[in-house]
Amino acid sequence: MGNVLPQKSVSDMRRHLKIIADGCSRFRMLSLNRQLEAAQLLLDENPPIDIAVLGQFKAGKSSFLNSLLGQNVLSVGAIPVTTAVTRLQYGTKAKALVRHFDGNITEIPLADIVKFTSEAENPGNAKNVSIVDIELPSLKKYSGLRLVDTPGLGSVYKYHQSASEEWLPSVGTALLAVSADRPLSEHDLELIRELIAHTPNIILLLTKVDLLSSDQQKEVVAFFQATLNRELHRTLPVYLYSTRDNTDEYKQVIEENIFKTICADRDTEFLRILNHKVRSLSQGCLSYLNIALNSSLQADMNRENLRNRILNEKVNEDIV
């Protein structure tokens, strides 16, 4: 849990969410339900800030997190592996909790995590796993944060994609992993477009940079920024990473510029993220209502045109 948030900020947020919730219920804006639920949960529980590692399958997400942790906690492999969302945070002792969709929670040894999070051991998520929560004493330096590993997007396993997309509204800071051997794709751009609605913090993580020379790394980063500017009219921070070469150097840069920066004023950052989600929900509601209003006006116009045509036909018949 975070510290106690400013009461006025909490009250204002709660009031705004109540208005949005009433509007969603009244006008049946079902598409916003998941966003609304995520924002309300953040406000009610004040949990650690979720720093989610997202991206296409085999982008090196789990390997990156294992490298940060300094131990192989998460499943990695040559084929799409991660089948369930996995969250890691500080705890006084190492433990893992498996949360199932039916509400059951089971504590398991760390060595058994793979039995619930990998495609090989849990094909098609047959074990009905919602989320796996892991606590590690080694994450004390990231206290107030929660690292999140997500199933890869774009693989043949469609439920991997649905699991990640269902979780997106909960993201606090998004680290979008892009492998150096297949730079920024249209799928990555589409994911960024979705993330813009959920978080003010989107960061690109170029993984496997050991495959590139120094000049090639600069060329790829320049390509990223040019593409983002052309397609999304914005640029994003880009960080490099390799689990093979200069790992400690890359890790230090990320820790200093991302994790420590957020931890330094966690509650202010938490409110900024929550405020972004509430504003996005408000914009979503207004957009929906404008579309509904325009559709209604168009329907009224169509009805009036039809009425006039019928009347004109009647007049013509009378003349004949």
One domain, residues 30 and 17:
yes
Say what the pLDDT of residue 300 is: 62
One domain, residues 71 and 24:
no
One domain, residues 125 and 39:
no
Retrieve residue 174's tokens. 């998004």
Say what the pLDDT of residue 63 is: 92
Say what the pLDDT of residue 308 is: 65
One domain, residues 76 and 208:
yes
Say what the pLDDT of residue 158 is: 59
One domain, residues 25 and 116:
no
Beta bridge partners of 279: none
Q: What is the CATH number of the domain that holds 124?
A: 3.40.50.300
Say what the pLDDT of residue 242 is: 96
One domain, residues 60 and 98:
yes
The Cβ-side half-sphere exposure at 66, using a 13 Å CA radius, reads 14
Q: How far is it, in rounded angstroms, from Cα 98 to Cα 132?
A: 5
Among residues 217, 233, 264, the one where a domain terminates is: 264
One domain, residues 173 and 305:
no
Q: How far is it, in rounded angstroms, from Cα 259 to Cα 318?
A: 80
One domain, residues 129 and 41:
no
Say what the pLDDT of residue 234 is: 95
Say what the pLDDT of residue 201 is: 97
The boundaries of the domain holding residue 254 are 48-264
Per-10-residue mean pLDDT of the chain, 320 residues long, equals: 68 89 85 92 94 90 93 72 89 96 95 90 91 96 94 62 82 97 91 96 97 96 97 97 96 97 94 94 85 67 62 51
Say what the pLDDT of residue 164 is: 77
Say what the pLDDT of residue 258 is: 97
Query: How many structural domains is the chain composed of?
Result: 2
